[in-house]
Amino acid sequence: MNMPLLEVKNLSISFGGLRAVDDFNLSIEKGQLYGLIGPNGAGKTTVFNLLTGVYKPTDGAILLNGRNITGHKTIEINRDGIARTFQNIRLFKDLSVLDNVKLGLHHRYPYRTITAVLRLPKYFKQETAMDERAMELLKVFDLDGEAATLASNLPYGKQRKLEIARALATDPVLLLLDEPAAGMNPNETQELMDTIRFVRDKFDMTILLIEHDMKLVGGICEELTVLNFGQVLKQGATKEVLSDPEVIKAYIGE
Amino acid sequence: MGKLKKTTKQELITCGIVVLFYIVITILDKTGNLKSHTKGLLVPICYYATAAVSLNLVVGFLGDLSLGHAGFMCVGAFSSALFSVAMKESTMPAGLRFFIALLIGTAVAALFGFLIGIPVLRLNGDYLAIVTLAFGEIIKNILAAIYLGKDEAGVHISLKSFPLQGEGKMLINGAMGIQGVPTDSKFLIAMLVLLITLLVIYHMVNSRTGRAIMSIRDNRIAAESIGIDITKYKMLAFTVSAAIAGTVGVLFAHNTSTLTAASTYFGYNVSIMILVYVVLGGIGSIRGSVIAAALLYALPEMLRGLGNLSNYRMLIYSVILIAVMLWNWAPAARAWRERVFKSKNKQKQES
């Protein structure tokens, strides 16, 4: 039997008296495109923050490839193999597009500060390799023409793409996308859906995404988990979940 | 890659300006066109430019407001001067002695930067500014109160004045400071220190280390999410900056024969003066720091020669500061410059 890539068991967190996420279970297979949906305030982003070590869970365990990563710090989680994007785009806005991606490659080319200061051959070798790798990634997202542009000068849709490129540069096994379609028009959303699918196929990536846009979720996710008030309301194949009366009720009301 | 070439070009231009400045000054000096008053400004110009460049690493690239730079200069100055005074009678050649003094001042300031950085760098923004300011003042005030003497009974250290037994020597004499520091700081050496600092900072900034430091400035949460060790790079930037401030302190100490920890030299107003150089030169612009420091340091000194007007020199100085600030940052002035010079957003290009 195959071990799931990500396994979350009985994950819970309380803030004061509020149980923001309660007994959350999740199992994602390698290569899956998985959606996490739910009304506002359901605890979706909290789940992401738990998975990426921003919050420490009160209870429960997170296993990545069978390895327990519960309680790891954010920077360790990234090295464990989880990369993420943010709901409100977080780029290094005063750095170039190329530098943003090169920061994602930071740990794969680990020459030391002294090597840089003395400009030893290793510096040039690794910087060149970094440039090449970063340009490859940018090309995949059709951003190679804007490598020298400041990240803040990119149009919105391209900023989203750059954030995904930067996350992929860290060479993750699991990619978390937090509301990637937020603030996009239908055309941009359509393009984003293609990009996400493309990333999954091209990089053989496992993707977990939070989304409000039902069209996007219905269009690309294979399985869904619906959260409501911090608890799992429904879990299963996309079609079934989306036609479930309870889910519809939670979203649209009585 | 085109990018690499561009940053290398920036670096070469800045170092070129500095070398050119040295050549011009040397020619003027050799042909006897330099007043002794002007000559006295050369070493300070170099070390304040160095100080501005090093502060820019923290303020411009790391994005933290540090107001304790003069404190680190003070540490570097006193530790190195102590060494030089103690070694003055020995047979060590002056060049070697000053080289070791430079290393000592730099290392001690780096150590202080590291130790102070541990608690201080947990803070952000205004809090960090206030606490660094306080640390700078504490260092200066302690050094102004220490008495260190050596006599037949050994080495004594105290916060109160004490008599020496038999043949002895006061090394640090409280508020009177250290006397008889050899004046080893020469224009050439100060220039070399500035050039080396420029190379170190440029090379650091244009590397994975520099990118990591700037990523913390731009978006701390995102930096963490891609595995950048925030604490490590904050400490690194802060320590390197403090170390170079220490080197500046060494140059300062060996440019005056009597070194005192007075507010005029090491108070928070000096930290703020260096910050003014950084801000006016353009935050995150290394070349800007050098040019602003050189001009703004020389300006009030040059205004001394204005005869009657020299009474108003600090007034003129402040007016010029405001004018430069407006020219650099006021939206209207920037729009006008862009129209006239057609420079497309050169602000961020350098760094």
Span A116-162, pLDDT tens digits: 999 999 999 999 999 999 999 999 999 999 999 999 999 988 999 99
pLDDT band at B242 (very low <50, low <70, confident <90, very high): very high
Q: What is the mean pLDDT of residues A19-27?
A: 92
Asked whether the beta carbons of residue B215 and residue A92 sit closer than 8 angstroms, the reply is: yes
Q: Tell me whether residue B332 is in a domain.
A: no
Q: Which amino acid is at A143?
A: L
Report the range of poorest mean pLDDT among A20-34, B151-165, B286-300.
B151-165
Q: Tell me whether residue B5 is in a domain.
A: no
Give the integer Cα–Cα distance in Å for A134 and A95. 14
Q: What is the mean pLDDT of residues B95-114?
A: 97
State the CATH number of the domain containing residue B284.
1.10.3470
pLDDT of residue B351: 43
Chain B hits for A116, Cβ within 8 Å: 203-204, 206-210
Q: First and final CA of chain B: distance in angstroms? A: 17
Asked whether the beta carbons of residue A92 and residue B214 sit closer than 8 angstroms, the reply is: yes
> Which pLDDT tens digit goes with each residue over B314-340?
888 888 888 888 887 788 888 887 788
pLDDT of residue B1: 45
pTM metric for this prediction: 0.90
Asked whether the beta carbons of residue B225 and residue A111 sit closer than 8 angstroms, the reply is: no
Chain B hits for A109, Cβ within 8 Å: 208
Residue among B219, B224, B226 with most chain A CBs within 10 A, to mutate: B226
Q: What is the ipTM of this complex?
A: 0.91
Is residue B4 scored above 80 in pLDDT? no
pLDDT of residue B350: 46
Asked whether the beta carbons of residue A78 and residue B203 sit closer than 8 angstroms, the reply is: no
Q: Tell me whether residue B101 is in a domain.
A: yes
pLDDT of residue B35: 86
Q: What is the mean pLDDT of residues B234-245?
A: 97
- Structurally, chain B folds into a number of domains equal to 1
Give the integer Cα–Cα distance in Å for B336 and A18. 55
CA distance B311 to chain A (A): 43
pLDDT of residue B342: 59
Give the integer Cα–Cα distance in Å for A235 and A251. 15
Is residue B107 scored above 50 in pLDDT? yes
Asked whether the beta carbons of residue A131 and residue B215 sit closer than 8 angstroms, the reply is: no
- Give the nearest partner residue to B211 out of A84, A99, A117, using CB atoms: A99
Report the 10 Å Cβ neighbour count for B12.
Answer: 11
Q: What is the mean pLDDT of residues A189-215?
A: 90
Interface of B with A (CB under 8 A): 1-4, 199-200, 203-204, 206-212, 214-215, 217-219, 221-230, 236, 284, 348
The runs of H, that is alpha helices, within B31-68 are 36-56
Give the integer Cα–Cα distance in Å for B206 and B104. 28
Q: What is the mean pLDDT of residues A5-34?
A: 92
Give the chain B residue nearest A78 (alpha carbons).
B227
pLDDT of residue B169: 84
Residue B84 contacts residue B180 (beta carbons within 8 Å): no
> Which pLDDT tens digit goes with each residue over A235-251?
999 988 888 888 888 77
Residues above pLDDT 70, as percent of chain A: 98
Is residue A103 scored above 90 in pLDDT? yes
The CA–CA distances, whole Å, from B74 to A104, B105, B248, B265, B275 equal 39, 9, 9, 8, 16
Average of per-residue pLDDT values in chain B: 90
Q: What is the mean pLDDT of residues B174-185?
A: 91
Higher-confidence residue of B104 and B162: namely B104
Give the integer Cα–Cα distance in Å for B99 and A142. 53
pLDDT of residue B147: 93
- List the Cα angle A28/A33/A37 in 5-degree steps: 85
B319-340: b or e for each residue (b if 16 or more CB lie within 10 Å)?
A: ebeeebeeebeeeeeeeeeeee
Q: Tell me whether residue B229 is in a domain.
A: yes
Which structural domain, as residue segments, surrounds residue B123?
41-298
Helix (H) or strand (E) holding B158: strand B154-158
Give the chain B residue nearest A171 (alpha carbons).
B226
Please provide residue A60's backbone torsions phi and psi, each rounded to the nearest 5 degrees. 100, 175
Q: Tell me whether residue B7 is in a domain.
A: no
Any B CB within 8 A of A123 CB: yes
Any B CB within 8 A of A55 CB: no
> Which pLDDT tens digit goes with each residue over B90-104?
888 999 999 999 999
Q: Tell me whether residue B47 is in a domain.
A: yes
SS3 A118: coil
Asked whether the beta carbons of residue A103 and residue B226 sit closer than 8 angstroms, the reply is: yes
pLDDT of residue A41: 83
pLDDT of residue B153: 82
Residue A161 contacts residue A141 (beta carbons within 8 Å): yes
pLDDT of residue B156: 86
Q: Tell me whether residue B36 is in a domain.
A: no
Is residue B278 scored above 90 in pLDDT? yes
pLDDT of residue A252: 67
Chain B hits for A75, Cβ within 8 Å: 224, 227-230
Is residue B308 scored above 80 in pLDDT? no
Beta carbons within 8 Å of B98's beta carbon, 6+ residues apart: B84, B182, B184, B185, B189, B254
Most confidently modeled range among A33-42, A44-53, B245-254: B245-254
Asked whether the beta carbons of residue B1 and residue A91 sit closer than 8 angstroms, the reply is: no
Helix (H) or strand (E) holding B232: helix B230-253
Report the range of poorest mean pLDDT among A25-39, A58-72, B37-51, B144-158.
B144-158
pLDDT of residue B343: 52
pLDDT of residue B161: 85
Q: What is the mean pLDDT of residues A202-229?
A: 90
Q: Tell me whether residue B67 is in a domain.
A: yes
pLDDT of residue A16: 85
pLDDT of residue B347: 47
Q: What is the mean pLDDT of residues A181-201?
A: 89
Asked whether the beta carbons of residue A170 and residue B348 sit closer than 8 angstroms, the reply is: no
Q: What is the mean pLDDT of residues B299-312?
A: 78
Residues above pLDDT 90, as percent of chain B: 67
Is residue B311 scored above 50 in pLDDT? yes
Pairs of CB atoms within 8 A across A/B: 103
CA distance A248 to chain B (A): 34
pLDDT of residue B349: 46
pLDDT of residue B325: 84
Is residue A101 scored above 70 in pLDDT? yes
Give the integer Cα–Cα distance in Å for B286 and B213. 15
Is residue B74 scored above 80 in pLDDT? yes
pLDDT of residue B6: 81
pLDDT of residue A253: 63
